[in-house]
Amino acid sequence: MEGRMTRRMLIAGNWKMNGLRQSLVFMEEIRDVANSRADLDILVAPPATLIERAARIAGPVKIAGQDCHTEQSGAHTGDISADMLKDAGASHVILGHSERRADHNEHSAMVRAKALSALSAGLIPVICVGESEAERRAGTAELVVGQQLADSLPDRSGYVIAYEPVWAIGTGLTASLDDIAAMHGFIRSKVPGGSDVQLLYGGSVKPENASGILSIGDVDGALVGGASLEAASFAAIIEAAPIRFAS
């Protein structure tokens, strides 16, 4: 698609609710990989407790939060604001992940409000969308994802989108290359300025399937869960990303 070569690849690891202080040795290993792949962006989303420490040793690796509140401060016990993530050293925040949509009842309007909050704090939101297995079987995947985009995306630029079919997350199942290409093309066609938006695929990305997925023209990177918990497998996924243009 036109404009493709202007989009950098982004490989993002989502640690979810995993990781203690000793896990940060991972950052040192990934920092070395990042130094050898300056053509792409590498992002790690550790649990909130590790963000500040991770950011201090990250080098060129960028750090993300896994969620933020819609407000920047206030009486919201247990929540974290975009300003706080930025202050701790994050550059991005994952929003609307299907686990948050399911576990915390987050709906798309809330995701949009969080995205606006993130943008105003100077963070890049990574906005997740994706259909369930039943929705794909029913042939409504594009309808569902189209609605999620319409309701979740802020009316400002500066976000990243991650297409994550819910049935592929943490299951070992991945969408076929044809289905990924078709959905990414669809998403790009629906998003304002779509040819410039970084568009990631997520759902059981592993070293064995990364090269095929990351070679699809409309795929600008991956959001990786399980395989981002070990430096060796995350590094192998990074290495599988094609070099789009010299750094």
Minimum CB–partner distance for residue 99 and ligand PEP (Å): 7
Q: Which is nearer to ligand PEP, 42 or 83 (CB)?
A: 42
The helices-and-strands tally (H runs, E runs) of the chain is 10, 8
Sole window of 46-54, 137-145, 152-160, 203-211 interacting with ligand PEP (rule: CB under 6 A): 203-211
Residue 207 binding ligand PEP, by CB under 6 A: no
- H-state helical runs in 108-219: 108-120, 133-137, 141-152, 177-190, 207-214
Nearest to 215 by CA among 3, 9, 2: 9
Whether 164 is catalytic is: yes
Which residue's Cβ has the minimum distance to ligand PEP?
225
Instruction: Single out the residue of 11, 85, 160, 169 in contact with ligand PEP (rule: CB under 6 A).
Output: 169
Q: Could you tell me the smallest distance in angstroms from the CB atom of residue 7 to ligand PEP?
A: 20
Give the number of residues in contact with ligand PEP, rule: CB under 6 A: 13
DSSP 39-108: TSEEEEE--GGGHHHHHHH-TT-EEEES---SSSSSS-TT---HHHHHHHT-SEEEES-HHHHHHS---H
Q: Which is nearer to ligand PEP, 85 or 94 (CB)?
A: 94
Catalytic-role residue among 99, 106, 131, 164: 164
Question: Which CB, 83 or 184, lies closer to ligand PEP?
Answer: 184
* Alpha carbon distance 92, 62 (integer Å): 8
CA–CA separation, 239 and 33 (whole Å): 8
User: Given the complex with ligand PEP, which of 47 and 170 has the nearer CB atom?
Assistant: 170
| Residue 205 in contact with ligand PEP, rule: CB under 6 A | yes
The answer to whether residues 135 and 141 touch, using CB atoms and an 8 Å cutoff, is yes
Strands 199-202 and 221-224: parallel
Token output for 119:
């943008």
From the list 221, 223, 199, 171, the residue with the least C-alpha distance to 14 is 223
CA 58/CA 221 separation, integer angstroms: 19
Out of 70, 108, 198, 204, point to the residue binding ligand PEP (CB under 6 A).
204
Binder among 46, 96, 165, 203 for ligand PEP (CB under 6 A): 203
Between 46 and 202, whose beta carbon lies closer to ligand PEP?
A: 202
Spatial distance between the Cα atoms of 202 and 223, rounded to a whole number of angstroms: 5
Query: Contact letters (x/-) for ligand PEP, 212-241, by CB under 6 A?
Result: -----------xxxxx--------------
Site for ligand PEP in 104-143 (CB under 6 A): none
In the residue annotation, 97 being an active-site residue is answered as yes
**Catalytic center residues:** 97, 164
The contact set with ligand PEP (CB under 6 A) reads 14, 164, 169-170, 202-205, 223-227
